[in-house]
Amino acid sequence: MSKPPFEIRLGPAGEVVMSGRLDATQCDAALQFLNAVGEPRVINLAGLEYIASAGLRVILLTQKRCKAAGAKLRLIDAAGPVFDIFHYAGFDQILEITRAGEPAGSP
Protein backbone atom coordinates (compact mmCIF):
# COMPACT_ATOMS: atom_id res chain seq x y z
CA MET A 1 0.00 0.00 0.00
CA SER A 2 1.50 3.36 -1.01
CA LYS A 3 1.79 6.19 1.50
CA PRO A 4 -0.70 9.05 1.09
CA PRO A 5 1.09 11.99 -0.52
CA PHE A 6 1.61 15.08 1.58
CA GLU A 7 -0.44 18.05 0.52
CA ILE A 8 -0.53 21.60 1.79
CA ARG A 9 -2.91 24.25 0.49
CA LEU A 10 -5.08 27.16 1.51
CA GLY A 11 -8.62 26.32 2.59
CA PRO A 12 -11.77 28.29 1.79
CA ALA A 13 -11.56 30.39 4.95
CA GLY A 14 -7.87 31.21 4.41
CA GLU A 15 -6.69 28.50 6.78
CA VAL A 16 -3.77 26.28 5.87
CA VAL A 17 -4.85 22.69 5.25
CA MET A 18 -2.39 19.82 5.59
CA SER A 19 -3.00 16.21 4.64
CA GLY A 20 -1.02 13.00 4.19
CA ARG A 21 2.29 12.36 5.93
CA LEU A 22 4.50 15.27 6.97
CA ASP A 23 7.94 13.69 7.23
CA ALA A 24 11.52 14.80 6.59
CA THR A 25 11.12 14.62 2.81
CA GLN A 26 8.20 17.07 2.85
CA CYS A 27 9.21 19.58 5.49
CA ASP A 28 11.09 21.95 3.17
CA ALA A 29 8.07 22.29 0.90
CA ALA A 30 5.77 22.74 3.91
CA LEU A 31 7.98 25.43 5.45
CA GLN A 32 8.29 27.22 2.13
CA PHE A 33 4.49 27.26 1.76
CA LEU A 34 3.95 28.49 5.31
CA ASN A 35 6.55 31.23 4.88
CA ALA A 36 4.83 32.35 1.69
CA VAL A 37 1.50 32.58 3.49
CA GLY A 38 2.93 35.24 5.77
CA GLU A 39 1.25 34.84 9.13
CA PRO A 40 -0.82 31.69 9.10
CA ARG A 41 -3.32 31.83 11.97
CA VAL A 42 -4.97 28.43 11.61
CA ILE A 43 -3.65 25.11 10.34
CA ASN A 44 -6.24 22.41 9.76
CA LEU A 45 -4.69 19.01 10.42
CA ALA A 46 -7.81 16.90 9.78
CA GLY A 47 -6.24 15.07 6.86
CA LEU A 48 -2.78 14.72 8.39
CA GLU A 49 -2.11 11.06 9.08
CA TYR A 50 1.42 11.26 10.45
CA ILE A 51 3.89 13.89 11.57
CA ALA A 52 7.60 13.19 12.05
CA SER A 53 10.08 15.24 14.07
CA ALA A 54 10.95 17.23 10.95
CA GLY A 55 7.28 18.18 10.69
CA LEU A 56 7.20 19.21 14.33
CA ARG A 57 10.14 21.52 13.60
CA VAL A 58 8.14 23.13 10.78
CA ILE A 59 5.24 23.80 13.14
CA LEU A 60 7.56 25.17 15.84
CA LEU A 61 9.34 27.52 13.43
CA THR A 62 5.99 28.77 12.13
CA GLN A 63 4.71 29.29 15.68
CA LYS A 64 7.90 31.18 16.52
CA ARG A 65 7.48 33.43 13.49
CA CYS A 66 3.82 34.09 14.30
CA LYS A 67 4.63 34.84 17.92
CA ALA A 68 7.33 37.30 16.92
CA ALA A 69 4.75 39.08 14.77
CA GLY A 70 2.31 39.16 17.70
CA ALA A 71 0.00 36.58 16.12
CA LYS A 72 -1.19 33.27 17.52
CA LEU A 73 -1.11 29.96 15.67
CA ARG A 74 -3.95 27.47 16.15
CA LEU A 75 -3.83 23.86 15.06
CA ILE A 76 -7.30 22.41 14.60
CA ASP A 77 -8.92 19.04 13.95
CA ALA A 78 -5.81 16.95 14.64
CA ALA A 79 -6.57 13.25 14.27
CA GLY A 80 -6.01 11.10 17.39
CA PRO A 81 -2.48 9.79 16.67
CA VAL A 82 -1.23 13.20 15.45
CA PHE A 83 -2.80 14.94 18.45
CA ASP A 84 -1.08 12.40 20.73
CA ILE A 85 2.34 13.20 19.25
CA PHE A 86 1.83 16.91 19.95
CA HIS A 87 0.60 16.08 23.44
CA TYR A 88 3.44 13.67 24.30
CA ALA A 89 6.02 16.15 23.03
CA GLY A 90 4.48 18.85 25.25
CA PHE A 91 3.65 21.08 22.31
CA ASP A 92 0.05 21.42 23.49
CA GLN A 93 1.50 23.65 26.23
CA ILE A 94 2.92 26.18 23.81
CA LEU A 95 0.41 25.82 20.97
CA GLU A 96 -3.35 25.92 20.86
CA ILE A 97 -4.33 22.58 19.43
CA THR A 98 -7.66 20.80 19.21
CA ARG A 99 -8.44 17.18 18.49
CA ALA A 100 -10.71 16.23 15.59
CA GLY A 101 -14.34 16.62 16.60
CA GLU A 102 -13.46 18.84 19.53
CA PRO A 103 -14.61 22.47 19.37
CA ALA A 104 -11.77 25.01 19.28
CA GLY A 105 -10.96 26.39 22.70
CA SER A 106 -12.06 23.31 24.65
CA PRO A 107 -9.55 21.97 27.21
Partner 1 sequence: MTTLLIRAPIALAPVLLFLAALVHGDSYKLVRLQTVLGLMAAGAVAAGASYVANFYLYAQFAGNFDAYARFVSPWIEEALKAALLVYLIRARRVGLPVDAGIAGFAIGTGFALIENLYYLASRPDTAIAIQVIRGFGTAIMHGGTATVLAIISVTLYERRPNGGLYLFLPGFLVAVAIHGGFNFLLVRPVLATLTTLLVLPLIIYAVFQNSDRALRDWLDQDLDSKVQLLELINSGTFLDSNAGRMLQTLRSRFRGEDLADMLCLLRLHGELALRAKGVLLMRESGMEEPPLDAETRDKLAELEQLERAIGRTGMLAVRPLMMATGKDIWQLRLLGR
Which residues make up the interface to partner 1 (CB under 8 A)? Answer: 24, 52-54, 56-57, 60-61, 63-64, 81, 84-85, 88-91, 93-94
Q: Is the Cβ of residue 11 or residue 35 nearer to partner 1 in the bound state?
A: 35
Q: How far is the CB of 25 from partner 1 (least distance, A)?
A: 12
Shortest distance in whole angstroms from residue 94 CB to partner 1: 6
Q: Beta strand pairing status for 42-51 and 7-10?
A: unpaired
Closest CA to 48 of 77, 18, 26, 11: 18
Nearest Cα neighbor of 66 from 43, 87, 92, 85 is 43
**Cβ-based nearer residue to partner 1, 14 or 53:** 53
